[in-house]
């Protein structure tokens, strides 16, 4: 089921290249989404309705979900699910509130200050996928940091479903209602990203689009980046587990299966120096895969871009997981906290046997919108900072400007930008 990759004795410069990962062919998808986005740009809401009928098999009389549908979805929500969402919201708010930055004034010299203001984007479009499964938890993960950042206008888009009367999944609508989001659109895919980027009749354009989606959503984000801000091009989900002999093989197997049930393109990697653990995990996987509700999906993910990777020791394992830069990394080792503190590349790190990725998906308080495809080497997960812009406000007195004028003379002269020098000198001449 799981391929074995033996890196023992091989401390290559980039061990991450030896590990499998699903290929998200955004470039190929661009050809499909380009006419979709162009149609929305040129034709507006009529194109969105036509494309929704083509791809989602839903005829929309209106793009926006009626307020009554949001209220009804919340009223009908299973009480246990409502309590779970409310607790997830509470915990997410605690964690994300701590990310909010204060404005800072720095006195560079007497009479010379630079204020750094943190200003929220004006309007955000939040995408909540609705393909294989519904993700009310993704509503929480997108909306909470945006609200804490102070974004004044939030709109959510999620694909409509014929089974739900042409509306998005009721659990998604209920989560929106819980969070006080009133502007929700029954639109999915590339046309939703284009709708937000360009604006259409009744839907003002946004400044930033966030949230995960399929390859067509990722391709639309790539195509429209610059027209609108984006958080990231999210690819198939992934987990790496760095474990030694102290790990419980059944815990490892359970977490591999849990990640694999997201998507047949999910990548699930166990990195370990222990052949005993590797063998025990394989034994534990069999019955868990057989019992999985989405067995075909799980089996395809585990037999595809997934592997057990054998390494010399935990130090070697750290090199491997840092090179692979997983969306989710579990550390199941002796001194797990100490090992986790040495990790440099991961979307989120889960420490010890009682911090599974499933906890982070729902109720850890951390955000589950995370970088995939190795982009954790340079990109962070969604946070309050994703919705803020730093603006420098420069305030110098005449005396402070005079103090640095000779340096501006020198640098402007070195760059042959005499007008720069003159713009300063003209302010300092005697009246």
Question: Contact 143/105 with Cβ under 8 angstroms?
Answer: no
Report how far residue 211's alpha carbon sits from residue 175's, in angstroms, rounded to the nearest whole number. Answer: 15
Average pLDDT score over residue span 282-286: 96
Give the rounded percent of residues in the chain with a pLDDT score beyond 70. Answer: 99
* Residue range 115-169, pLDDT digits in tens: 999 999 999 999 998 866 778 999 999 999 999 999 999 999 999 999 999 999 9
Query: Does 59 participate in catalysis according to the annotation?
Result: no
Cβ atoms < 10 Å from Cβ of 292 = 17
- Tell me if 323 sits within 8 A of 14, measured CB to CB: yes
Contact, 231 vs 193, CB < 8 A?
no
Q: Is the pLDDT of residue 339 over 70?
A: yes
pLDDT tier at 214, thresholds 50, 70, 90? confident
Q: Which of 142, 306, 152, 156 is nearest to 232 (CA)?
A: 142
Q: Are 198 and 227 in contact (CB under 8 A)?
A: yes
Q: What is the mean pLDDT of the chain?
A: 95
Given 96, 316, 328, 368, the catalytic residue: 328
Complete edge-to-edge strand list for the sheet that includes strand 153-157: 184-185, 153-157, 123-127, 208-210, 229-230
Cα 281 to Cα 418: distance, rounded to the nearest angstrom: 69
Give me the residue label for tokens 């935990």.
314
Q: Which of 428, 387, 386, 388 is nearest to 405 (CA)?
A: 428
Q: Among this protein's residues, is 327 annotated catalytic? A: yes
Q: Which percentage of the chain shows pLDDT scores above 90?
A: 89
Query: What confidence score (pLDDT) does residue 419 get?
Result: 97
Q: Which of 249, 259, 248 is nearest to 294 (CA)?
A: 259
Per residue, the 3-state secondary structure of 101-148, as one string, reads CCCEEEEEECCEEEEEEEEECCEEEEECCCCCCCCHHHHHHHHHHHHH
Flag whether pLDDT at 344 surpasses 90: yes
Query: What's the CA gap between 321 and 19, in Å, rounded?
Result: 10
The 10s digit of each residue's pLDDT in 83-108 is 999 999 999 999 999 999 999 999 99
Angle between helices 170-178 and 67-76 (to 10 degrees): 100
**Cα-Cα-Cα-Cα dihedral sign, residues 17, 18, 23, 27:** positive
Q: Which of 183, 261, 264, 327 is catalytic?
A: 327
* Secondary structure (3-state) at 411: helix
Q: Provide the pLDDT for residue 431.
A: 45
> pTM for the whole thing?
0.92
């Amino acid at each position: 089921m799981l391929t074995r990759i033996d890196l023992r004795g091989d401390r290559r410069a980039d061990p991450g290249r030896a590990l499998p990962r699903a290929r998200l062919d955004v470039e190929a998808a661009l050809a499909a989404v380009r006419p979709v986005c162009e149609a929305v740009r040129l034709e507006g809401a009529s194109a969105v309705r036509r494309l929704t009928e083509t791809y989602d098999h839903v005829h929309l009389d209106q793009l926006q979900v009626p307020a009554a549908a949001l209220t009804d979805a919340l009223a009908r929500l299973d009480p246990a699910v409502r309590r779970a969402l409310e607790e997830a919201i509470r915990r997410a708010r605690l964690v994300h509130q701590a990310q909010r930055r204060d404005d800072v004034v720095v006195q560079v010299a007497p009479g010379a200050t630079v204020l750094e203001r943190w200003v929220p984007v004006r309007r955000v479009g939040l995408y909540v996928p609705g393909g294989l499964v519904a993700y009310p938890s993704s509503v929480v993960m997108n909306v909470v940091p945006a609200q804490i950042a102070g974004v004044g206008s939030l709109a959510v888009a999620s694909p409509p479903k014929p089974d739900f009367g042409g509306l998005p999944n009721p659990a998604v609508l209920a989560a929106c209602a819980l969070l006080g989001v009133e502007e929700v659109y029954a639109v999915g895919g590339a046309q939703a990203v284009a709708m937000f980027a360009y604006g259409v009749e009744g839907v003002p354009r946004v400044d930033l689009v966030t949230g995960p989606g399929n390859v067509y959503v990722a391709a639309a984000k790539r195509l429209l980046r610059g027209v609108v801000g984006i958080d990231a091009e999210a690819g198939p989900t992934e987990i790496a587990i760095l474990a030694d002999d102290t790990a419980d093989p059944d815990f490892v197997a359970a977490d591999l299966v849990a990640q694999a049930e997201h998507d047949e393109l999910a990548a699930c990697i166990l990195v370990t120096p222990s052949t005993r653990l590797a063998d025990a995990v394989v034994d534990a996987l069999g019955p868990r895969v057989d019992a999985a509700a989405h067995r075909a999906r799980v089996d395809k993910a585990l037999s595809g871009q997934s592997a057990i990777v054998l390494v010399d020791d935990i130090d070697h394992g750290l090199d491997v997981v840092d090179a692979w830069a997983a969306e989710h990394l579990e550390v199941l080792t002796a001194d797990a906290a100490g090992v986790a503190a040495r990790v440099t590349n991961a979307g989120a790190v889960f420490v010890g046997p009682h911090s599974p990725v499933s906890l982070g998906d729902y109720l850890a308080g951390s955000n589950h919108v995370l970088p995939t495809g190795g982009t954790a080497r340079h990109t962070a997960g969604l946070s309050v900072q994703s919705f803020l812009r730093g603006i420098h406000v420069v305030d110098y007195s005449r005396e402070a400007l005079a103090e640095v004028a000779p340096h501006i003379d020198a640098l402007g002269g070195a760059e042959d930008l005499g007008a720069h020098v003159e713009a300063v000198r003209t302010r300092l001449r005697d009246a």
